[in-house]
Amino acid sequence: MDFKLQNKATGTEARTGIITTDHGVIETPIFMPVGTVGSVKGVHFRDLKEDIKAQIILGNTYHLYLRPGLETIRQAGGLHKFNGWDGPILTDSGGYQVFSLGDIRKLSEKGAKFQSHIDGSRHLFTPENVMDIQRIIGADIIMAFDECTPGDADYNYAKQSLELTQRWLDRCIKRFDETQPVYGYSQTLFPIVQGCIYKDLRERAAEHVASLDREGYAIGGLSVGESEEEMYAMVEVVNKILPEDKPRYLMGVGTPVNILENIDRGIDMFDCVMPTRNGRNGTLFTKNGIINIRNKKWENDFSPLDPDGTSFVDQHYSKAYLRHLFVSKEMLGAQIGSIHNLAFFMWLVGEARKQIQNNTFAVWKAEMVKKLGIRL
Amino acid sequence: MDFKLQNKATGTEARTGIITTDHGVIETPIFMPVGTVGSVKGVHFRDLKEDIKAQIILGNTYHLYLRPGLETIRQAGGLHKFNGWDGPILTDSGGYQVFSLGDIRKLSEKGAKFQSHIDGSRHLFTPENVMDIQRIIGADIIMAFDECTPGDADYNYAKQSLELTQRWLDRCIKRFDETQPVYGYSQTLFPIVQGCIYKDLRERAAEHVASLDREGYAIGGLSVGESEEEMYAMVEVVNKILPEDKPRYLMGVGTPVNILENIDRGIDMFDCVMPTRNGRNGTLFTKNGIINIRNKKWENDFSPLDPDGTSFVDQHYSKAYLRHLFVSKEMLGAQIGSIHNLAFFMWLVGEARKQIQNNTFAVWKAEMVKKLGIRL
């Protein structure tokens, strides 16, 4: 993997760049649609590529490990071959999902024991086997196995959790560096910065990962219960320390406003289930604000779903028709909402990129942030 | 509407034709995907047109009347404008749905009182208002309001039911002929032949509708509990009487084998929820037989879903991947199954048309019927 920093705008940390992987290039800042079990919910890959213009998608190691399982993915020749997406893929490490399991997981120095949410079967994730699993899944960019510290953890818990994450990171790197890709193309490992909402822990974590000189870095443990101000403050702290010439991935974030605020603070990569999850529920993001399409006010509004939208659904379907699909519980409604929102998130990061290139990002962002949160 | 009979093959009643409506032409024999509430479940209209190559779709009057309701459809400018499908549309009369309601409907000479399956609200369908409703929905081809006699009705019930259907038909025609289209393009009314599985009733019904000299005719009350042999026998009886120069629509039928057998007996038009309903459940129809994609045998079969398939899903997705989507309850699985099956049904009738034109239909049909029912 290679990252080339391109532009920086004045009065902001926002920047543009190009990530090159063996499955193609990614223009940053970028949003990555989430393909949990290898499918972006409700969206055909053809539409993802040609209409939404996704450049990289995300897969969840925890889910893929359970279903379809490693044997099937290996026999297919990796996740790209299995699902037919031939562009870049990033996998998380399973850390976030495992820690979300609550009572049915148990942590130790060795790793995390957990029970499958599907059938209760028992499994163990360790830094080493999570590297091996991600080798088999075959994503272009893979993540270190970490503990995702809860946003409301106290200082002592957060400190011990970070130290565990750092010891696990050293083991991840050792295993990753002594193993080879399974399918012939290269993979890269991103360390994850934890440290909850504590400035000194985040600084320490950022310094530790920066010292390791990897090809890119992730920031985890944000958007997990802390306030938005705390999230932004932590991103600022970390990005002051992370090297400028490496991509920075803010995991699991966020709303359109969160994305712009964090681009402003120097983040290059984002992923979030919000566009698809909210799209399935009838919440649509537009450049003029948020539409709840179930609202009665759209019942007889036959104007296009989003006249400014970039995907085929925006021009073909009307607001009234989409409302009717949601009211009638037709699955096409969830499909349309998902495509619209993903295309909007892709437009948002693409437009941010242009504004950075034109050195107009700061003014544009300030205007957009005012509009994006409006309830239409 | 205009129908031009084109070819007849020897040794069979199978025929080809062209139906011309104000929304475009339909090459018969044809299969019509069912768009219950104005949406073919799980399928974007773009895919329906460009990949599946649907030529006409069906809407259900009962469902559309309840949701979105006539006021919204009228304000939109009719169903074509509301859902964005600009090709021909056919609507049923609501008869079948109303009679499926069982205890919450009540029949009289005047019409059918029923309660909405959604909110229990009370409604009345009469031959007259069902014509008015279909004028407002604005389909190119609309159906007479009839009683769909159950397949196991005794002779006396079937006879009285048919007589009611015939009196209602006269009222439908009167109302239809004294009213005008709402949106400027023409509509045509198809009478429906009932008569259950009783030869003399079917003959009487066919003679009655034939005497009315309409632009096309439907056969209803089949595939509602009777045997396949009874269905085929009734189609033969009726088609001997219906005029040769008018299209014949067999309502709600059926399996791929049913379709070929009835094309063989002179049917031109079909509709059925089977391709979408079964597709959503993981049952795929192919020219070599039927696939239950949930079966473990497909777990590591990475070959294309259907190498002979005509839609983009057939080449892009593998059997193993589609199985994984169904096992993981991912909605993309239902979407893929629906598109595949609809494209297959469209291929089937299109291929039948070519075989009739080449005068090779009888031999081809006999071979296909052997293969289509095989469980793969």
Beta-carbon contacts of residue B240 (< 8 Å; ≥ 6 apart): B206
Tally Cβ neighbours within 10 Å of residue A120: 8
Distance CA A36, CA A277 (A): 12
Distance to chain A for B65, nearest Cα, Å: 12
What is the reported pLDDT for A111? 96
Distance CA B60, CA B54 (A): 17
What is the reported pLDDT for A205? 98
Using the Cβ of B328 and the Cβ atoms of chain A, whether some distance falls under 8 Å is answered with yes
Angle between helices A331-357 and A319-327 (to 10 degrees): 140
Contact A84 B335 (CB under 8 A): no
A137-196 residues touching B, CB cutoff 8 A: none
Angle between helices B361-372 and B256-264 (to 10 degrees): 160
Q: At A356, list the tokens.
A: 């950075």
Distance CA A327, CA A329 (A): 5
**Which of chain B's residues have a Cβ under 8 Å away from the Cβ of A35?**
none
B222 compared with A150, residue with greater pLDDT? B222
Using the Cβ of B317 and the Cβ atoms of chain A, whether some distance falls under 8 Å is answered with yes
Angle between helices A155-177 and A199-210 (to 10 degrees): 10
User: Model confidence over B292-322: pLDDT tens digits?
Assistant: 999 999 999 999 999 999 999 999 999 999 9
β-strands B192-193, B248-250: how paired?
Answer: unpaired
Percent with pLDDT over 70 in chain B: 100
Closest to A321 (Cβ–Cβ): which among B82, B316, B331?
B82
Q: At A131, list the tokens.
A: 């590297």
The helix/strand/coil state of B6 is strand
Closest to B41 (Cβ–Cβ): which among A40, A45, A332?
A332
Task: Average the pLDDT over each of A160-174, A322-336, B93-107, B353-367 and give the range with the smallest value.
Answer: B93-107
- Cβ-in-10-Å burial (0-12, 13-18, 19+) of A321 comes to buried
SS3 content of chain A, % helix, strand, coil (to 5): 45, 20, 40
Using the Cβ of B300 and the Cβ atoms of chain A, whether some distance falls under 8 Å is answered with yes
Contact A320 B76 (CB under 8 A): yes
Contact B317 A84 (CB under 8 A): yes
Most A CBs within 10 Å: which of B328, B338, B342, as the mutation test of the A interface? B328
Closest to B335 (Cβ–Cβ): which among A44, A83, A302?
A44
B59-118 residues touching A, CB cutoff 8 A: 63, 67-68, 71-72, 75-77, 81-84
Contact A82 B320 (CB under 8 A): yes
Q: Predicted confidence band at A97 (pLDDT cuts at 50, 70, 90)?
A: confident
What is the reported pLDDT for A177? 98
What is the reported pLDDT for A105? 85
Q: pLDDT averaged over chain A?
A: 97
Distance to chain B for A293, nearest Cα, Å: 14
Q: At B275, list the tokens.
A: 């391709």
Q: Predicted confidence band at A95 (pLDDT cuts at 50, 70, 90)?
A: confident
What is the reported pLDDT for B346? 98
Using the Cβ of B320 and the Cβ atoms of chain A, whether some distance falls under 8 Å is answered with yes
* Strand runs labelled E in chain B: 2-8, 15-21, 24-28, 30-32, 57-59, 89-91, 105-107, 112-115, 122-125, 141-143, 188-190, 192-193, 217-219, 248-250, 269-271, 283-286, 289-292
Q: Predicted confidence band at A246 (pLDDT cuts at 50, 70, 90)?
A: very high
What is the reported pLDDT for A363? 96
Distance to chain A for B115, nearest Cα, Å: 17
- Measured CA to CA in angstroms, residue A251 lies from A93, A145, A222 at distances of 11, 13, 7
Q: pLDDT averaged over chain B?
A: 97
Contact B321 A67 (CB under 8 A): no
Q: Is the ipTM of this complex over 0.90?
A: yes
Most B CBs within 10 Å: which of A40, A43, A44, as the mutation test of the B interface? A44
Distance to chain B for A41, nearest Cα, Å: 6
Task: Average the pLDDT over each of A92-101, A105-114, B42-51, B155-164 and give the range with the smallest value.
Answer: A92-101
Closest to A330 (Cβ–Cβ): which among B37, B77, B84?
B37
What is the reported pLDDT for B102? 80
Tally Cβ neighbours within 10 Å of residue A218: 25
Taking Cα atoms as reference points, which of B110, B120, B109, B112 lies closest to residue B66? B120
What is the reported pLDDT for B24? 98
Contact A328 B37 (CB under 8 A): yes
Distance to chain A for B141, nearest Cα, Å: 22
> Are B208 and B136 within 8 A, CB to CB?
no
Taking Cα atoms as reference points, which of B244, B334, B272 lies closest to residue B13? B244
Most A CBs within 10 Å: which of B62, B276, B331, B338, as the mutation test of the A interface? B331
**Which of chain A's residues have a Cβ under 8 Å away from the Cβ of B77?**
302
Name the stretches of chain B with pLDDT < 70.
none
A334-353 residues touching B, CB cutoff 8 A: 334-336
What is the reported pLDDT for B327? 97
Contact B46 A327 (CB under 8 A): no
What is the reported pLDDT for B98? 86
What is the reported pLDDT for A102? 80
Contact A44 B318 (CB under 8 A): no
The residues of A carrying an active-site annotation are 92, 271
Amino acid symbol at A295: N
What is the reported pLDDT for A104? 79
What is the reported pLDDT for B34? 98
> A37: nearest CA in chain B?
B328
Distance to chain A for B332, nearest Cα, Å: 5
Contact A335 B335 (CB under 8 A): yes
Q: Is the pLDDT reported for residue A347 higher than 90?
A: yes
Q: At A349, list the tokens.
A: 């990061």
* Chains A, B: CB pairs < 8 Å: 126
User: Model confidence over B182-239: pLDDT tens digits?
Assistant: 999 999 999 999 999 999 999 999 999 999 999 999 999 999 989 999 999 999 999 9
**Which of chain A's residues have a Cβ under 8 Å away from the Cβ of B332?**
39-44
Using the Cβ of A43 and the Cβ atoms of chain B, whether some distance falls under 8 Å is answered with yes
Distance to chain A for B37, nearest Cα, Å: 8
